Amino acid sequence: MTTNTKYIFVTGGVSSSLGKGIIAASLAKLLQAQGYRTTIQKLDPYINVDPGTLNPYEHGECYVTDDGAETDLDLGHYERFLNVPTSQSNNVTTGRIYQSVIEKERRGEFLGKTVQVIPHITDEIKERIQILGKSGDYDIVITEIGGTVGDIESLPYIEAVRQLRWDLGQDNAIVIHLTLIPFLSAAGELKTKPTQHSVKTLMESGVQADILVCRTEHELPEDLRRKLALFCNVREEAVIQSIDASTIYDVPNLMLEQGLDKVVLKKLNLESDTPDLTQWNQFLNRHKNPKGEVTIGLIGKYVELQDSYKSILEAFIHAGAENEVKVNVESVHSEFLTPKNAAGKLQHLDGVLVAPGFGERGIEGKIEAVRYVREHNIPFLGICLGMQMAVIEYSRNVLGLKDANSTEMDEQTQYPVIDLMESQKDITDKGGTMRLGAWDCELINGSIVQQVYGSNAVKERHRHRYEFNNAFKTQIEDAGMKATGFNPETGLVEIVEIPSHSWFVGVQYHPEYKSTVANPHPLFVAFVKAALNFKKDEKSVSMTQK
Ligand code: GLN
């Protein structure tokens, strides 16, 4: 087999939430910053075909790519770090692997053979791992294997890694193993045993780790590194410490200090140079030295779990750095927001974002939040369901269409201002059937969004089933809320604004998916700026009142 592409596998021991995604993204950043075309792929050992049908409480946010794949949130980190779009090929689950093997079996492609985990499932995994490499677009493919080494469901993946190392040769495929070095405070000691054990578990499957990345709260002393190297059969320089960082954006520099990129490139027989992290460090500098701060309310129903709104929170970090301010995000649970307590929860905020979501729970709270910020001129950004709630609020409270609603929440509503698209009406399968991925959007001259984007045409990613109902468009526009973005083919409304308000924008798409360190999303940048202006204006108003 010939190959120009090099493969790096990232596996994890002890616990699955050690931050493999961030380590993979940081390594990719360092390799990219040395001129290597690098991409990252995530293999997830669960049986769902994709995470699209998973509740955010289960697995955090579902991240959507340009090609409409509903994927693991780690792909968001990959894009934010690398500024290179990912696709369906970058996320594969066990469900998808089995689905594809079973479809081949039904088509008779296995010519009467018994279909088995080895070789058929493992062959399918190997093929999926190499799709990105074979595209010719990348010098290096990093494959992150989800879950924990030793789990039953991870076994076929580890076996595929073992075979690929054999097929491709040791110089072309290496294994990084991420483990935890716990600190026992009673004994005042760092413990290496769990690492030794997970390396051993990996070896039982025939895979020797080349590099250890050790997650730790304290510096690893020299003798401990030596011990790990000796017991785990790796070189001392290949024992890399991953110490807890105050921000994930520090991790590339921490890995650089540890020489992770150098060891990796040496093992792969590739030249190594000093990575150019100028732009990255400029961002970090701005992020860490803010000149002011704003407080934005995030109104959602999954706020207990930070990962549910991962891309939104990261987009605020990018936009904050761009504005040189710290963005404090204050979560407000929409389920417990009522007309009685809205002022108490919202009046001190400099901006409010109403989050995406599905289903009825918490929507009245979201509508109440929109009412409050609209009436008090507080900058507002509504995303997907948040935009739909803005349309409903306006219809109810300004147009006087009592009980206006989305047919998602009330099928019988007299005023279905948000309704199911015609093309969605006969769809019964829930998985992968929404309006997904990048769609064109044309912007109206003179609108806020046209100014924000500095363009008349953009492409943004979608993930929803319901739409602004054009039957109500004239009525809504006459009352003062304007539709300022449209899909040119379908005429579907993508954006609404209220020109008389300080800054009020609702978007049917998800701008947060496209915000990266190198390219903070213009809508988030403008929203944070509006919040900053609002804060200044508020201050000057209260000063003149004194
Ligand atoms: N539930 C809404 C719809 O399907 C909004 C989805 C979302 O916010 N992503 O249209």
**Segment 82-98, tens digit of pLDDT:** 999 999 999 999 999 99
Query: Of the candidates 354, 374, 376, which has an alpha carbon nearest to the alpha carbon of residue 366?
Result: 354
200 touches ligand 1 (CB under 6 Å): no
366 touches ligand 1 (CB under 6 Å): no
Residue 510 is among the residues annotated as catalytic for this protein: yes
Query: Six-digit token pair at 394?
Result: 């306006």
314 touches ligand 1 (CB under 6 Å): no
C-alpha 61/C-alpha 87 separation (Å) is 16
507 touches ligand 1 (CB under 6 Å): no
Question: Position of tokens 């400029």?
Answer: 282
Beta strand 416-420 with 63-64 is unpaired
Cβ neighbours of residue 276 closer than 8 Å, sequence gap 6 or more? 33, 34
Give the closest residue (by CA) to ligand 1 atom 1. Answer: 358
Residue 384 is among the residues annotated as catalytic for this protein: yes
Q: What is the pLDDT of residue 543?
A: 58
What are phi and psi for residue 29, nearest 5 degrees?
A: -60, -45
Give the DSSP per-residue string, 280-305.
HHHHHHHHHS-SEEEEEEEEES-TTS
384 touches ligand 1 (CB under 6 Å): yes
Distance 487 CA to ligand 1 centre (A): 17
Ligand 1 atom closest to the Cα of residue 466 is: 10
> What is residue 117's DSSP assignment?
I
Give the closest residue (by CA) to ligand 1 atom 5. Answer: 385
363 touches ligand 1 (CB under 6 Å): no
357 touches ligand 1 (CB under 6 Å): yes
pLDDT in tens, 473-522: 999 999 999 999 999 999 999 999 999 999 999 999 999 999 999 999 99
Q: What is the pLDDT of residue 332?
A: 97
C-alpha 510/C-alpha 311 separation (Å) is 9
Per-residue pLDDT of the chain (546 residues; tens, 9 = 90+): 445 899 999 999 876 567 899 999 999 999 999 999 999 999 999 999 998 888 888 888 999 999 999 999 999 999 999 999 999 999 999 999 999 999 999 999 999 999 999 999 999 999 999 999 999 999 999 999 998 999 999 999 999 999 999 999 999 999 999 999 999 999 999 999 999 999 999 999 999 999 999 999 999 999 999 999 999 999 999 999 999 999 999 999 999 999 999 999 999 999 999 999 999 999 999 999 999 999 999 999 998 888 999 999 999 999 999 999 999 999 999 999 999 999 999 999 999 999 999 999 999 999 999 999 999 999 999 999 999 999 999 999 999 999 999 999 999 999 999 999 877 888 888 888 899 999 999 999 999 999 999 999 999 999 999 999 999 999 999 999 999 999 999 999 999 999 999 999 999 999 999 999 999 999 999 999 999 999 998 767 755 554
Distance 357 CA to ligand 1 centre (A): 6
464 touches ligand 1 (CB under 6 Å): yes
Distance 276 CA to ligand 1 centre (A): 40
Q: What is the pLDDT of residue 1?
A: 41
Q: What is the pLDDT of residue 466?
A: 96
> What is residue 139's DSSP assignment?
S
Q: What is the pLDDT of residue 545?
A: 56
Question: Position of tokens 């000063």?
Answer: 543
- Among 298, 366, 385, which is best to mutate for testing ligand 1, by the most ligand atoms less than 8 A from CB? 385
Distance 336 CA to ligand 1 centre (A): 20
Residue 494 is among the residues annotated as catalytic for this protein: no
Helical (H) or strand (E) element with 113: none
Helices (H) and strands (E) in the chain, counts: 18, 23
